[in-house]
């Protein structure tokens, strides 16, 4: 039995490295005594180094591991082997427990607050914790390394007095009590923003304490309870208190560093970058590597022959003990779906899912312990799931990850399943989605988040690989799903129409996943450096060049209509047409599937609000075509250019679609059988807000800038003047036909005037656009002024036509607004 029956806290991180052993990996000795410890005697020579027995007394409760951790009375001591001084370790801070709503719903038990690479260093009679950085590097043997070190001096997180040396002088003893009991900003969890938001005054030392410390062969885990005095805590019960429990994990990083692998922007990966000042390039050479787990075949020779081989150390995920039993099988299946993708990289059983161990199986198991990767099940009303990970900043090696599953997330999937597939999918027309189908959705969400923890970001171009009509083909969808990767935001098949048979409606893994995993994880045995791998990696990617199945599209692209969130198919105009056709069917039947069954309007209200959101997404997919630019990341050896304007005819088609489906009042959304039962008012303004959002997106500085640029390069491209004219003529079509204007259209037309006035007076925010330019010295103001002047002339005539009073007053008001926009003084 270990000598830690008093709860000991832990800062640790554990990772069993395949290729190295250290003396800290020896088994901890067993101890028979767990006597209650007394306080250490008061020091008569404060600040001076004392004999070991005077500091670590016979009453010490000791836990042996990476460092010996001693508890003497109320104090905690680390006994640090000198061999571990100046050694890289990772310090990871995360919440173990926290109040509800801290951080607004996306912060939870298990959320990381900080990750730092640290070293314990000796300076005279002190031990320092220094934060290290590998963002700027040079080989130690090179003269320039002196300058790199001088110009990248690392901060000191804390300084400890040396209290004693071990009897053989091989270890150094420091008192870490104050470090873990104090409001050390690097550890205490509350960011500067949170402190400001909740008006935190200070840490209340009387209600803050070390909960436990535990030392393992390669990590130390510390749990701290902090209570802060705050004027506006996230849960205001009148006591002005925020209490949180933090877990600090410190793990020894491997001396045999994983060989890094270069990033290729044609394949999506999470990355780390560093500047190499020792490079032969005539600059600080920026090198970018992918983040990935270390997988090494058990049998290299068999692996070379193409035999599937197990890795020396597989990737293992545990389920959170809080996971409901009915969901556990789906979660484990979702994790192990990736086994097939790893087979494409030559590995079998590379990723394994396990139930949480019992106390008998592993009494030290904790989801916060960095030795374990865990699918955390969070009791929260947040509707989401995330897949963060912890990696070695030196090489990109992923050490641990915690997938976060929020309890209410399935509600979102049930709702979207009904709204997006209900027209063609009878089993979705219910509030009680069959368990098997809910399980399939959950499995795929977990698989998506596992993909993130393996190193894969979103690939928003993956659904573009499939033709829109393929989504109506049962055989095709059952085989290929709805995107070439699970990492796209392609959740449901909203294209399939009523009567289409054998359709798969839910996403699944695809060929891009095999391709990306092979890129990141295939063991290239003949290459002994990252540089030596580059030719092979480039060959793999170049072979797939031009095939849309293997195209990567960044989530950050806001201008490529082939790379959008939540869309499917290779033609979003056509896909959105199918989607709206289905949505109209769902809207007409929504009361039948909800309130008529439940005898209340709660679900109808919720689903109608989300239905408007679905409508808005379909419209947004079409907006992106206008001023759109195709982005095809490629090397100079590949044919074609990286950036190509969307063809003019497609931009015009998108504009016509928007006028017909978004700006012409979608009266089918104004269903009195729904509206009059879910809200007493706000009908007209709600629709105005939806339409104005897309009108504002269309009349955007960045979009206009792209149109200006590409028309300047080729006069056959859609011009900004043509775009503005098309918008005006569509929005103000009643002024041409001399017909009355409905209240919905009047609201939209006022939104148009407000946005044009914005374009006349404001400047673009470059944070939200990759097309930054000087608006005031561009064509934008002149074009907007010309359009408003033309509109004013048209309205002068229209206001005298035989229109009703509301329309006439509306035109008179608009004329005044135009005058104020053009002549604000």
Segment 691-743, tens digit of pLDDT: 999 999 999 999 999 999 999 999 999 999 999 999 999 999 999 999 999 99
Tens digit of pLDDT for each residue in 443-479? 999 999 999 999 999 999 999 999 999 999 999 999 9
pLDDT in the model for residue 407: 79
Q: Indicate whether 219 and 325 sit together in one domain.
A: no
- Residue 707 sits in the same domain as residue 588: no
pLDDT exceeds cutoff 80 at 282: no
Question: In the numeric block, which tokens belong to residue 161?
Answer: 């007095």
Inside any domain, residue 248: yes
Same domain for 96 and 210? Answer: yes
DSSP strand pairing (241-252 vs 89-97):
antiparallel
Q: How many CB atoms lie within 10 A of CB 330?
A: 20
Within this chain, do residues 605 and 472 fall inside the same structural domain, yes or no? yes
Q: pLDDT at position 185, please?
A: 83
The total number of residues shown for the chain amounts to 825
**Residue 22 β-bridge partners:** none
Mean pLDDT of the region 155-178:
95
Task: Confirm whether 643 is domain-assigned.
Answer: no
* pLDDT at 39 (0 to 100): 38
Q: Please indicate, yes or no, whether residues 369 and 470 belong to a single structural domain of this protein.
A: yes
CB 607 within 8 A of CB 595: no
Q: What is the pLDDT of residue 279?
A: 77
Average pLDDT over residues 648-657: 98
pLDDT band at 611 (very low <50, low <70, confident <90, very high): very high
430: left (phi over 0), alpha (psi -120 to 50) or beta: beta
d(Cα 43, Cα 41) in Å, to the nearest integer?
6
The reply to whether 104 and 202 lie within a common domain is yes
8: in domain: no
**648 vs 631: CA distance, rounded Å:** 16
At 108 the three-state DSSP class reads coil
Whether residue 584 is predicted with pLDDT greater than 60 in this model: the reply is yes
The pLDDT of residue 640 is above 60: yes
Report residue 729: phi and psi, to 5°.
Answer: -65, -35
Report how far residue 149's alpha carbon sits from residue 156's, in angstroms, rounded to the nearest whole number.
Answer: 15
If asked whether residues 240 and 319 sit together in one domain, one would say no
**Which stretch of 4-13, 38-47, 390-399 has the lowest confidence by average pLDDT?**
4-13
**What's the CA gap between 347 and 518, in Å, rounded?**
10
Higher pLDDT, 41 or 760: 760
Please determine, for residue 652, whether its predicted confidence score (pLDDT) is greater than 50: yes
pLDDT tens column, 484-503: 999 999 999 999 999 999 99
- Pick 144 or 295 by higher pLDDT: 295
Residues 601 and 691 in one domain: no
Round to whole Å and give the CA distance between 391 and 395.
8
More confident residue, 519 or 802: 519
CA proximity to 619, closest of 698, 524, 544: 698
Domain with 423, as residue range(s), is 300-612
Both tokens assigned to 96: 């173990």
The structure tokens 């001023």 sit at 627
CB 465 within 8 A of CB 356: no
Q: pLDDT tens digits for 59-77? A: 999 999 999 999 999 999 9
Dump the DSSP string for 612-624. Answer: HHHHHHHHHHHHT
Mean pLDDT, residues 299-317 taken together: 97
| Percent of the chain surpassing pLDDT 70 | 93
Which region among 29-38, 272-281, 349-358, 784-793 has the lowest average model confidence (pLDDT)?
A: 29-38
- Which of 215, 234, 252 lies at the terminal end of a domain, its last residue? 252
Residue 661's pLDDT is what? 98
Strands 285-290 and 126-132, sheet pairing: unpaired
Q: Which two three-digit tokens encode residue 57?
A: 């007394």
- Could you tell me which residue, 125 or 387, shows the higher pLDDT? 125
DSSP state of 297: B
Q: Please tell me whether residues 229 and 310 are part of one structural domain.
A: no
d(CA 541, CA 410): 36
320 with 247, same domain: the answer is: no
| Residue 24, both tokens | 């800290």
Q: Quick check: 94 and 372 in contact, CB under 8 A?
A: no
Q: How many angstroms separate the CA atoms of 109 and 245, rounded?
A: 9
Place of tokens 């039947």: 589
What is the helix (H) or strand (E) element at residue 68, kind and residue range?
A: strand 68-72
Question: What pLDDT, in 10s, does the model give residues 22-53?
Answer: 333 333 433 333 333 333 344 444 558 999 99
Looking at residues 151-180, what average pLDDT do you find? 92
- Residue 622 domain-assigned (yes or no): no
As a whole number of Å, the CA-based R_g of the chain is 31
Same domain? 182 vs 307: no
Distance CA 805, CA 743 (A): 12
Helix and strand counts by DSSP (H, E) for the chain: 24, 23
Among 104-118, 176-190, 525-539, 771-785, the minimum mean pLDDT is found in 104-118
How many distinct structural domains can be found in the chain? 3
Closest CA to 402 of 425, 424, 377: 377
DSSP annotation string for 254-294: PSSPPPP-B--TTS---EEEEEETTSSSSS-EEEEEE-B--
Residue 810 lies in a domain: yes
pLDDT of 12: 37
pLDDT in tens, 662-688: 999 999 999 999 999 999 999 999 999
| 3 state DSSP class of 425 | coil
* pTM: predicted TM-score of the whole model, two decimal places: 0.88
Cα 144 to Cα 280: distance, rounded to the nearest angstrom: 12
Residue 212's pLDDT band (cuts 50, 70, 90): very high
The partner residues of 251 in beta bridges, in order of sequence, read 90, 219
> Parallel, antiparallel, or unpaired for β 398-406 and 373-378?
parallel
Of 30 and 637, more confident? 637
Plot region of 379 (φ>0 → left; ψ -120 to 50 → alpha; else → beta): beta
Cα dihedral across residues 417, 422, 428, 430: positive or negative: positive
Residue 591 lies in a domain: yes
Classify 477 as helix, strand or coil: helix
Tell me what pLDDT residue 286 has. 87
Q: Which of 577, 612, 647 corresponds to the end of one domain?
A: 612
Specify if 17 maps to a domain: no
Average pLDDT score over residue span 504-517: 97
- Pairwise CA distance, residues 297 & 136, whole Å: 32
Query: Does residue 603 have a pLDDT over 50?
Result: yes
pLDDT of residue 467: 97
> Which of residues 281 and 223 earns the better pLDDT score?
223
Please tell me the predicted confidence (pLDDT) of residue 768: 59
Question: Which segments within 433-553 are labelled E, that is strand?
Answer: none
Last residue of a domain, one of 252, 280, 311: 252
Residues 226 and 371 in one domain: no
What number of other Cβ atoms are within 10 A of residue 563's Cβ?
26
**In this structure, is residue 498 part of a structural domain?**
yes
User: What is the pLDDT averaged over residues 347-371?
Assistant: 90
With a pLDDT cut of 90, the percent of the chain lying above it is 74
Output the average pLDDT for the chain: 90
């Amino acid at each position: 039995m270990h000598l830690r029956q008093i709860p000991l806290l832990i800062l640790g991180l554990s990772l069993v490295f395949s290729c190295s052993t250290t003396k800290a990996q020896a088994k901890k000795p067993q101890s028979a005594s767990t006597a209650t410890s007394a306080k250490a005697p008061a020091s008569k020579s404060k600040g001076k180094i004392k004999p070991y027995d005077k500091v670590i007394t016979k009453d010490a409760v000791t836990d042996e591991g990476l460092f010996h951790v001693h508890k003497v009375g109320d104090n905690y001591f680390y006994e640090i082997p000198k061999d571990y001084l100046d050694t890289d370790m990772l310090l990871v801070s995360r919440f173990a427990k926290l109040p509800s709503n801290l951080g607004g719903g996306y912060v939870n038990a298990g959320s990381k607050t900080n990750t730092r690479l640290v070293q314990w260093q000796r300076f005279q009679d002190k031990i320092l914790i220094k934060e290290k950085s590998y963002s700027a590097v040079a080989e130690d043997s090179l003269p320039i390394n002196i300058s790199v070190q001088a110009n990248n001096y690392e901060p000191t997180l804390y300084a400890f007095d040396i209290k004693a040396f071990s009897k053989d002088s091989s270890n150094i003893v420091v008192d870490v009590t104050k470090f873990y009991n104090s409001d050390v900003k690097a550890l205490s969890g509350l960011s500067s923003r949170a402190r400001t938001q909740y008006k935190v005054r200070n840490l209340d030392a009387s209600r803050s304490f070390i909960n436990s410390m535990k030392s393992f062969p390669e990590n130390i885990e510390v749990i701290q309870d902090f209570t802060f005095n705050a004027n506006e805590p996230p849960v205001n019960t009148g006591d002005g208190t925020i209490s949180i429990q933090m877990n600090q994990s410190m793990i020894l990083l491997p001396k045999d560093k994983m060989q890094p692998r270069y990033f290729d922007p044609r394949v999506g990966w999470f990355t780390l970058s560093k500047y190499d000042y020792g490079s032969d390039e005539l600059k600080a050479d920026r090198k970018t590597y992918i983040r990935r787990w270390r997988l090494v075949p058990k049998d290299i020779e068999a692996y070379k022959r193409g035999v599937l081989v197990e890795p020396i150390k597989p990737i293992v995920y545990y389920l959170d003990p809080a996971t409901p039993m009915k969901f556990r099988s789906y979660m484990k299946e979702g994790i192990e779906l990736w086994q097939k993708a790893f087979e494409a990289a030559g590995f079998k059983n590379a990723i394994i899912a396990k139930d949480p161990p019992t106390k008998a199986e592993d009494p030290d198991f904790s989801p916060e312990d960095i030795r374990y990767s865990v699918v955390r099940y969070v009791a929260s009303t947040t509707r989401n799931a995330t897949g963060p990970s912890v990696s070695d900043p030196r090489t990109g090696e992923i050490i641990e990850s915690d997938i976060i599953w929020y309890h209410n997330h399935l509600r979102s999937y049930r709702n979207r399943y009904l709204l997006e597939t209900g027209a063609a999918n009878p089993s979705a027309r219910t509030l009680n989605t069959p368990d098997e189908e809910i399980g399939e959705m959950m499995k795929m969400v977990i698989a998506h988040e596992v993909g993130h923890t393996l190193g894969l970001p979103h690939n928003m171009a993956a659904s573009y690989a499939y033709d829109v009509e393929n989504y109506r083909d049962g055989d095709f969808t059952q085989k290929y799903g709805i995107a070439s990767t699970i990492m796209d935001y392609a959740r449901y098949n909203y294209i399939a129409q009523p009567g289409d048979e054998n359709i798969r409606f839910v996403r699944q893994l695809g060929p891009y996943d095999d391709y990306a995993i092979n890129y990141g994880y295939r063991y290239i045995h003949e290459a002994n450096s990252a540089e030596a791998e580059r030719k092979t990696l480039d060959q793999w990617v170049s072979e797939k060049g031009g095939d849309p199945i293997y195209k990567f599209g960044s989530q950050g692209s806001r201008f490529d209509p082939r790379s959008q969130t939540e869309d499917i198919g290779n033609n979003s105009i056509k896909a959105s047409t199918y989607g709206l056709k289905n949505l109209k069917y769902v809207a007409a039947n929504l009361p039948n599937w909800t309130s008529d069954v439940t005898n209340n309007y709660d679900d109808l209200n919720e689903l109608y609000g989300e239905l408007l959101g679905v409508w808005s997404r379909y419209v947004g997919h079409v907006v992106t075509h206008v001023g759109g630019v195709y982005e095809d990341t490629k090397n100079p050896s590949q044919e074609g250019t990286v950036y190509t304007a969307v063809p003019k005819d497609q931009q015009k088609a998108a504009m016509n679609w928007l006028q017909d489906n978004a700006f012409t009042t979608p009266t089918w959304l104004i269903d009195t059988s729904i509206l009059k039962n879910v809200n007493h008012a706000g009908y007209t303004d709600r629709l105005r807000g939806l339409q104005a959002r897309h009108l504002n997106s269309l009349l955007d500085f960045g979009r206009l800038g792209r149109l200006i640029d590409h028309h300047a390069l080729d006069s056959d491209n859609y011009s900004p003047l043509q775009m503005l004219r098309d918008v005006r003529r569509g929005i103000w079509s009643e002024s041409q036909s001399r017909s009355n204007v409905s209240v919905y259209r009047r609201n939209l037309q006022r939104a148009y005037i407000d946005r044009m006035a914005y374009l006349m007076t404001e400047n673009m925010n470059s944070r939200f656009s990759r097309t930054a330019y000087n608006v005031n010295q561009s064509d934008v103001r002149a074009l907007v002024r010309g359009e408003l002047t033309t509109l004013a002339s048209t309205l002068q005539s229209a206001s005298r036509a035989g229109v009703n009073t509301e329309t006439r007053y509306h035109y008179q008001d608009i004329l005044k607004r135009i005058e104020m926009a053009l002549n604000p003084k």
